[in-house]
Amino acid sequence: MVEFTSALEGLSRAEAQFNKTAQDIARAPQVLNGQDTVDLSAAAVALIQSRNNFDANTKLIKVADEMTRTLLEVIG
């Protein structure tokens, strides 16, 4: 069940990236020494990447589940 473990780790990484980016965006109005502390365009890209990573890992779990179900039907 390596596929499930890998997908769950991927989901966890995507969630961590999303949470970090959300925290960065929440800090956006803060200014340090006259310079913005958050690049909103980079943050938007990071949000899209985390969403895509989450979707890809979710699909991996679905495929692994289907493969396991098919294997059990063939065996049993």
Residues 39-50 have pLDDT tens digits of 788 899 999 999
Question: Amino acid identity of 5?
Answer: T
Query: What's the rounded mean pLDDT across residues 16-40?
Result: 78
Bridge partners (DSSP) of residue 36 are 31
Q: What is the pLDDT of residue 25?
A: 85
The count of domains in the chain is 1
pLDDT for res 13: 95
Say what the pTM is: 0.75
Domain that includes residue 48, residue range:
2-28+37-75
The per-residue b/e assignment along 5-34, b for 16 or more CB within 10 angstroms, e otherwise, is: eebeebbeebeebbeebeebeeeeeeeeee
Q: For residue 27, what pLDDT is reported?
A: 78
In the prediction, which pLDDT does 69 show?
A: 94
